[in-house]
């Protein structure tokens, strides 16, 4: 049904009955793989945010088989329009020809060698050209490699061990100790890591006051909201005033807010920057970049891995950056993200559902609120359930790609209208549970601060 038919049906039925369910999907292959995985893979998944507890267990498919553009097919053959886009990396689209061709050329030549590849130099030069703070570059495979390296650089340069942080930065010891998933990490790490709050510079200043001459790194990501009152520059100034380096974690914003990331978008120059996700359209590569004076510390820091110069990620990133430039990708994902957001707000206005679309058009997210105004994962679970049943795979973040066409956005809005109509009914009736067909989603971990 499209939005207009839904409105008619709701009117015809006096809004009393349940909306017609879409045809049932077979999810038996997903469940069969999961039964095997649970026995031999701890927590069943390699990436916590992809596990069944992050979606609606019993309704969301558990395993995907392939993708094309922004569409994905689960292992039972059901098709979806994808919005997490692999949690952000797939900026152009799945099976995107120019990147696949660039990678295939390298695969045929051999993908990792006894000596270095010139692609390392080529990609480093491209990043130096594109990213404001990048004078030197080193590569890793995951975002956590880059943030770990950046923290080591700052600690080495300043001779200080303490870190002030704001946001999420990966699974290594120094950050994971701040979460509820902190087993196996030496406890002393907890005493070295201090949180501060976005858009509240006084919370950073308070940490400098509590730990004078101890904090060597201030690391942050730019979350959903825009910085207020020159917040980013104020954080840089505070870091420098108190003798720390400023690291901008651009794992989510890089190659998305603009080619040069949030630093280019907001016109700031951090000391160091961390990039990953969108830089290679789904192939594995990350980068720590920064000013020469600081990056030179890596001459004497142990940051070396077998696969960090592997040519697949390098070639994919070079091809991806070429496409971003050639196809005007950044403008396009802003534009499509705006269309989606405006459509969702029209639906919200019409149905009076308490939902906010937070973040920027290229990467946003849903925040549903209950009758008391508290954020509700239960209501979000119902929304996800109803969109997944209708072939739109929403999850945590909503990432737009070059492959999200107007037709995809329109279809998503039709499906969202149906899903929000059901959300509205559940809220009016005061019971999400009555509408749930699977298990509601939970949080990946709890922050301990
Ligand atoms: C802001 C930020 N920093 C760091 C990371 C860690 O990246 P990865 O999971 O690739 O190690 C993430 C991952 O989601 C992230 O969002």
As given in the structure block, the two tokens for residue 321 are: 């950056």
Element (H, E) at 344: helix 329-351
Whether the per-residue pLDDT at 15 is higher than 60: the answer is no
Give the model's pLDDT for residue 2: 67
User: Is this prediction's pTM over 0.85?
Assistant: yes
pLDDT band at 16; cut points 50, 70, 90: very low
Closest CA to 409 of 69, 148, 110: 69
What integer pLDDT is reported at residue 444 of this predicted model? 72
CB 48 within 8 A of CB 54: yes
pLDDT tens sequence across 364-383: 999 999 989 999 999 999 99
- How many angstroms is it from 384 CA to the middle of ligand 1? 23
For domain 112-309, is the CATH number 3.40.640.10?
Answer: yes
Q: Is the pLDDT of residue 267 over 60?
A: yes
Report the chain's terminal Cα–Cα distance, integer Å. Answer: 45
Instruction: For residue range 78-99, list pLDDT tens digits in order.
Output: 999 999 999 999 999 999 999 9
Output the pLDDT for position 269.
Answer: 98
Helix (H) or strand (E) holding 158: helix 143-158
Q: What is the mean pLDDT of residues 12-30?
A: 74
- What CA–CA distances, in Å, run from 128 to 63, 260, 271, 287, 311? 38, 10, 14, 11, 19
Q: What is the 3-state secondary structure (H, E, C) of 92-115?
A: CCECCHHHHHHHHHHHHHCCCCCC
pLDDT band at 399 (very low <50, low <70, confident <90, very high): very high
Mean residue pLDDT across the chain: 95
Q: Is the CB of 273 under 6 A from ligand 1?
A: no
Residue of 85, 141, 167, 277 to mutate, ligand 1, most atoms within 8 A of C-beta: 277
Rounded to the nearest 5 degrees, what angle is found at the Cα of 278, between the Cα atoms of 78 and 341?
65
Pick the CATH number of 3-94+329-435 from 3.90.1150.10, 3.90.1200.10, 3.30.750.24, 3.30.70.330: 3.90.1150.10
Counting ligand 1 atoms within 8 A of each CB, the residue from 149, 170, 253 with the most, and so the one to mutate, is: 170
User: Is 219 in contact with 288 (CB distance < 8 Å)?
Assistant: no
* The pLDDT value given to residue 6: 62
The band of 447, judged by pLDDT with boundaries at 50, 70 and 90, is confident
199 CA to centre of ligand 1 in angstroms: 21
Domain boundaries, the chain: 3-94+329-435, 112-309
Do domains 3-94+329-435 and 112-309 share one topology? The answer is no
Q: Are strands 272-275 and 245-249 parallel, antiparallel or unpaired?
A: parallel
Mean pLDDT throughout 265-291?
Answer: 98
Integer Cα distance of 246 and 220 in angstroms: 8
Q: Is the CB of 89 under 6 A from ligand 1?
A: no
Burial of 258 (0-12, 13-18, 19+ CB in 10 A): buried
Neighbours of 154 (CB within 10 A): 26
What digits encode the pLDDT tens for the residues 134-176?
999 999 999 999 999 999 999 999 999 999 999 999 999 999 9
- pLDDT(410) > 50: yes
Q: Ligand 1 in contact with 276 (CB < 6 A)?
A: yes
pLDDT in tens, 309-326: 999 999 999 999 999 999
């Amino acid at each position: 049904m499209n939005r207009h038919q839904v409105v008619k049906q709701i009117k015809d039925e006096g809004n009393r009955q349940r909306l017609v369910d879409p045809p049932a999907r077979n999810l038996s292959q997903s469940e069969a793989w999961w039964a095997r995985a649970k026995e031999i893979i701890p927590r069943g998944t390699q990436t916590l945010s992809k596990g069944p507890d992050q979606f609606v267990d019993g309704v969301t498919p558990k395993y995907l088989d392939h993708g094309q553009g922004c569409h994905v097919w689960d292992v039972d053959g059901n098709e979806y329009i994808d919005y997490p886009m692999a949690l952000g990396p797939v900026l152009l689209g799945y099976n995107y020809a120019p990147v696949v061709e660039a990678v295939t050329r390298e695969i045929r030549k051999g993908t990792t060698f006894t000596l270095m590849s010139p692609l390392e130099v080529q990609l480093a030069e491209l990043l130096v050209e594109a990213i404001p703070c990048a004078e030197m570059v080193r590569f890793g495979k995951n975002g956590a490699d880059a943030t770990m390296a950046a923290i080591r650089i700052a600690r080495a340069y300043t001779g200080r061990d303490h870190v002030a942080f704001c946001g999420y930065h990966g699974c290594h010891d120094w950050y994971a100790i701040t979460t509820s998933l902190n087993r196996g990490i030496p406890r002393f790490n907890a005493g070295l890591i201090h949180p501060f709050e976005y858009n509240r510079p006084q919370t950073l200043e308070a940490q400098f006051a509590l730990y004078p001459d101890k904090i060597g790194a201030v690391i942050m990501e730019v979350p959903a909201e825009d910085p207020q009152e020159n917040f980013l520059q104020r954080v840089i100034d505070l870091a420098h005033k108190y003798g720390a380096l400023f690291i901008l974690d651009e794992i989510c914003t890089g190659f998305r807010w603009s080619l040069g990331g949030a630093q280019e978008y907001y016109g700031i120059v951090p000391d160091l920057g961390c990039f990953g996700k969108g830089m290679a359209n789904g192939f594995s590569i990350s980068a720590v970049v920064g000013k020469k004076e600081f990056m030179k510390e890596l001459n004497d820091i142990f940051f070396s891995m077998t696969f960090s110069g592997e040519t697949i990620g390098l070639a994919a990133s070079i091809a991806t950056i070429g496409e971003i430039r050639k196809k005007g990708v950044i403008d396009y994902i802003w534009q499509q993200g705006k269309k989606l957001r405006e459509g969702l707000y029209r639906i919200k206005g019409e149905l009076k559902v308490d939902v906010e679309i937070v973040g920027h058009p290229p990467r946003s997210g849903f925040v549903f609120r209950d009758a008391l105004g508290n954020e509700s994962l239960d209501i979000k679970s119902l929304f996800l359930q109803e969109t997944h049943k209708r072939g739109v795979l929403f999850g945590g973040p909503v990432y737009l790609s070059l492959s999200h066409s107007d037709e995809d956005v329109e279809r998503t809005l039709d499906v969202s209208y149906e899903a929000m109509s059901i959300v509205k009914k559940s809220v009016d009736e005061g019971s999400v549970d009555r509408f749930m067909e699977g298990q509601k989603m939970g949080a990946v971990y709890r922050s301990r601060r």
